[in-house]
Structure 1
Amino acid sequence: MTNTSQTPKEQLLDAALMHVAFDGWSEATFKAAVSDTGMDPTVARAVCPRGAVDLAVAYHKRGDQQMIDRMKAENMTEMKFSAKVAAMVRFRLEAATDKEAVRRGTTLFALPQYAPEGAKLVWGTADAIWAALGDTSEDVNWYTKRATLSAVYSSTVLFWLGDTSEGHAETWAFLDRRIENVMQIEKVKAQVNSSPTLSMLMAGPNWLLSHVKAPSRLNRSDLPGSWGSPRP
């Protein structure tokens, strides 16, 4: 029975998940979802112009929202920051109760025509995590944090897809190692900045990067970054 409190796209997504394991995020799955919901095909195509591809995107974004909802329900105040990041990635993976749907999505977004969309979704997940944890960076660090976490998240998803250990224990150990690697990079950056010799060598690159601004500082929203004119 269709849940009338849901949007048409949500109704289609729930119906599609019953077919994804067999047909992937395909046109066959989309048509089956339309049939199962009894939705007018014209309405269905209006909310999902690309068919099942749009449903796969909606499925990923639903997982991001579930991750945020779980974070709000958890007490993370006593956790170290690195542990919070790891917990958020874990929340995100645990939100994906249908591993086959994720596997099929990974296959879909590996296709050349959809790879940019897949990269955008992973970046969006990383951005959601940093935003939820209170990131206030407005310079190049806004980009490096999200790029690094995107790599951590992507590699962890691939490991998780093949993990058959009890409670995905091996995945969480893998994730902890990846987070530790990131923390080591941050330690090296701090050592460079505190070293009189190395900090002098990095003065030029740091000056250059200091003019890169986060998207929130843009006058136009269709560009990924901005350049601030150097002060005289």
Structure 2
Amino acid sequence: MAPSRVPTGLTTLLRRTIQHQKQHPHLQSLCCPILRRSYQSYDHPPAPGVFGAAEQAILSAAYRHVPEHGFTQHALSLGARDAGYLDISTNLLPEGPFSLIRYHLVTQREALTPQSELIFHSRGEEKTYLPQQVLDKVERLTWERLLGNQEVNHRWQEALAIMAQPPHVPASLRELALLADDIYYLAGDTSVDSSWYTKRGSLSMIYASSELFMTNDRSAGFGETRAFLQRRLDETNNVGGAWGSFAQWVSFTASAGVNVLRSKGFRI
């Protein structure tokens, strides 16, 4: 089946953005973060860390409380105390519990780089991989990232509900896009044609649906989740199937977000 085309409007937007930044480089620092680093490549290094020293200290300490207390303000307060800060220091994190979720997303994504070196015995030299080798590496790296959720898997539906709230959707989707990009980058993908977009878009959908599937998986070692992931990757040529899985994830997160807002007194 022929790969889907990149939407013309998206291509035009990207071209105009790149052209505008070249013409006005002094304005790049004012651009949306998504446009500053929307992808990774062999010619574009990753962006600097997103957390300051104090934020890092509080979040890393708070993260240890997530399995028991969830991605909550209480976990953040406990983390601040553990890190030697006053409870009020959580004001350094204006996004509240979402900061803790974002910390999880960022640190687990970044952990894939050293993991890939251990798994694939890479010594840092430049290599060229056959297409099937790339796909095998994509599957393994995606699975390793899913395993990064196992300690907080019982809390992840709560996290999805927070991520689905309108203020947090852009950052959540951005992290999902960065994850798909990093996986293909670490797998050795060097494509520069339109498939660059379609492969990462499809992987984003597959990962999102696999992550949701995992929250209800009670099999040993999350074996059913890995089988689900492998089936979805085998269906990557069936774009309709990939979109169907993503639609399920969107439906769940949207309804979960609505329920959270209702619990806070909003009339929806």
1:135 is paired with a residue whose SS is coil
Take 1:117 and 1:45, find their aligned partners in 2: how far apart are those partners?
Answer: 19
Stretches of structure 1 that go unaligned for 5 or more consecutive residues are 1-5, 186-232
Tell me what 1:25 maps to: 71
Tell me what 1:87 maps to: 140
Stretches of structure 2 that go unaligned for 5 or more consecutive residues are 1-51, 122-128, 240-268
Contact 2:139 2:233 in 1 (8 A): yes
Take 2:67 and 2:150, find their aligned partners in 1: how far apart are those partners?
Answer: 13
Counterpart of 2:97, as a letter, is A
Tell me what 1:122 maps to: 176
**Alpha-carbon distance, 1:10 to partner:** 3.1
Tell me what 1:215 maps to: none
Tell me what 1:49 maps to: 94
Contact 1:25 1:56 in 2 (8 A): yes
1:174-220 CA distance string (max 9 Å, x none): 111001001566xxxxxxxxxxxxxxxxxxxxxxxxxxxxxxxxxxx
1:13-66 CA distance string (max 9 Å, x none): 2322244345533333322221222225676534x3323322211111111112
Tell me what 2:186 maps to: 132
Take 2:102 and 2:111, find their aligned partners in 1: how far apart are those partners?
Answer: 14
**Alpha-carbon distance, 1:115 to partner:** 1.8
1:11 is paired with a residue whose SS is helix
Contact 1:163 1:171 in 2 (8 A): yes
Tell me what 1:198 maps to: none
1:83-112 CA distance string (max 9 Å, x none): 211101111011234223433322211222
Between Structure 1 and Structure 2, how many residues are aligned?
Answer: 179
Describe the shift of the 1:73–1:21 C-alpha distance in structure 2 as closer, same or farther (beyond 3 A).
closer
Instruction: Note the aligned Cα RMSD (angstroms).
Output: 2.6
Query: What's the % identity of the aligned pairs?
Result: 26
Whether 2:54 is the aligned partner of 1:8: answer yes
Take 2:114 and 2:227, find their aligned partners in 1: how far apart are those partners?
Answer: 24
Take 1:45 and 1:128, find their aligned partners in 2: how far apart are those partners?
Answer: 31
1:153-189 CA distance string (max 9 Å, x none): 001101111111111111111111001001566xxxx
Q: TM-score, normalised by structure 1?
A: 0.67
Take 1:106 and 1:54, find their aligned partners in 2: how far apart are those partners?
Answer: 13
